[in-house]
Chains A and B, each alone.
Chain A
């Protein structure tokens, strides 16, 4: 075997022969570009989000205007493309408007929980010792509740409403995100490059910012993205139980619950809001899976 000389490293190879320098996120983006399934469901999410945002302009009717004459009409009746609900309100308009509350219930708690749980987890993981024990044992206690039970317990005792529902869901997600952030931080903290940063005299804040966060945020984001689907299901579930959004505000979970009255006359109507929840949650789940795969590859 021939021994390479030092000049092999110093001599500049032709630049065009080297692969382009790509940061981590850029290479994740590049891998996603060829994942057509994920891209498809990403565009489904984009459409759902756009429809919800522009609901006031798209919706053909006022979603809260009821009419006793046109109760529980089948899709296609008069101008009601998707029919009317048990109070004679236009289903399509209600579904479009309902997407707003349902998406909010899905996304806001996960974002809040990621901020709070992530900060707690990184703190616990980096400082370790008693601080870690205090934070993580507290999380264990909250974790000792099944998520549905905790969400119902909080909104059930505090009273319904979208605000309490979001608060409940945020509290439900904090412990698991905190655990992910804590274990990622604990792992990264022990790695040589963090030791080297400490040996260079970096302060705790500087090391966390420069060396820890970049390596911890990835796993935390992957995990948090998988929670959006859960949050949508749980949020709509709360509304279904009468604990989330309050009538007459349109919400998919709430619509599902009230339309049960018409289950024998118009079964199809009853299936519509459920299908909306299902498609949204499925899309978020699959995109999260695709993101996980794109971010998992090491080199």
Chain B
């Protein structure tokens, strides 16, 4: 297993490199000269040439990429055109806010989905199952940016019970989820975000539990006279690793794909940051956010894979 873990970690390195190449290429392909944004509009050709040399823009592209990569590895992702602060600090600050709602959403989705999925599997084909599967399909079909708006209409506009947007901390980055005054702001984003993972985790749970219930060893347990609760314990223990894996992957998707939900709720995470960067054409910020999010996604996937290998005795990878 350690051998597998070591290889799996090594295998992530070329993937992370590939990710960095894509991020770099995207900026190359983007319209507009990067040097232009660093200069006053009335810069002389000499000044432009000087700056080009200073920033290494006169070198061939692969060399420029290496320079960029070395700087990125040391945490230097450039300066935001909008805020004039280092991109790395800005993105890392926002990342923690994104992780707060993503983890919240996955936990909410998991607890609901696991119960519903198990009930559905036990009632396969009956109305309960149909209702549960319908919720799952709706969960993955609903545009969550629309759901967010509907939730705002209901809870913020009509009922006035919850805040419509923002984080309520007024610039402070230390968000405390246990403080109700602050946590209120996270409720709608978390609800909105949780629907897709809810659907997917429920589907996985349902099929995993149903599959196990049909297996010979469970029939055997029943034949031996085990009560339904004891059988359920076996079923859950066998289904859990698979469901946890899906849950981990969903967490990765939420962290990486938070832009829509965060834009609706003006939640100051990475997605909101990107949304603003797109509007203001703040390319260094956009590039830095994409790179850090992709690397986070790769890392989460790696951790999920390793955890699964460690937890699930059936997977013996060599």
Question: Are B143 and A277 in contact, CB atoms less than 8 angstroms apart?
Answer: yes
Question: Are A278 and B294 in contact, CB atoms less than 8 angstroms apart?
Answer: no
Q: Which of A79-87, A90-98, A134-142 interfaces with chain B?
A: A134-142
Q: B14 — nearest CB in chain A belongs to which residue?
A: A137
Question: Are B15 and A236 in contact, CB atoms less than 8 angstroms apart?
Answer: no
Question: Are A141 and B278 in contact, CB atoms less than 8 angstroms apart?
Answer: no
Question: Are B257 and A282 in contact, CB atoms less than 8 angstroms apart?
Answer: no
Q: A153 — nearest CB in chain B belongs to which residue?
A: B290
Kindly list chain B residues whose C-beta atoms are within 8 Å of the C-beta of A185. none
Q: Which of B16-24, B115-123, B213-221, B230-238 interfaces with chain A?
A: B16-24
Question: Are B149 and A142 in contact, CB atoms less than 8 angstroms apart?
Answer: no
* Interface residues on chain B, number (Cβ under 8 Å): 50
Among B15, B274, B278, residue most surrounded by chain A Cβ atoms (within 10 Å): B278
Within 8 A of B (CB), among A253-280: 253, 256, 260, 263-264, 267, 270-271, 273-275, 277-278
The yes or no answer to B104 lying at the interface (CB within 8 A) is no
The yes or no answer to A157 lying at the interface (CB within 8 A) is yes
Question: Are A157 and B286 in contact, CB atoms less than 8 angstroms apart?
Answer: yes
Given contacts A144-B294, A149-B256, A240-B260, contact A156 B278 (CB under 8 A): yes
Question: Are B140 and A285 in contact, CB atoms less than 8 angstroms apart?
Answer: yes
Question: Are A241 and B286 in contact, CB atoms less than 8 angstroms apart?
Answer: no
Question: Are A282 and B137 in contact, CB atoms less than 8 angstroms apart?
Answer: yes
Given contacts A145-B294, A146-B297, A282-B137, contact A157 B146 (CB under 8 A): no
Kindly list chain B residues whose C-beta atoms are within 8 Å of the C-beta of A88. none
Question: Are A149 and B149 in contact, CB atoms less than 8 angstroms apart?
Answer: no
Given contacts A156-B274, A240-B145, contact A264 B15 (CB under 8 A): no
Q: B23 — nearest CB in chain A belongs to which residue?
A: A153
The yes or no answer to A181 lying at the interface (CB within 8 A) is no
Question: Are A142 and B253 in contact, CB atoms less than 8 angstroms apart?
Answer: no
Question: Are B294 and A229 in contact, CB atoms less than 8 angstroms apart?
Answer: no
Kindly list chain A residues whose C-beta atoms are within 8 Å of the C-beta of B145. 237, 240, 253, 256, 274
A contact set with B: CB distance below 8 Å = 137-138, 140-142, 144-149, 152-154, 156-159, 229, 233, 236-237, 240-243, 253, 256, 260, 263-264, 267, 270-271, 273-275, 277-278, 281-282, 285-286, 289
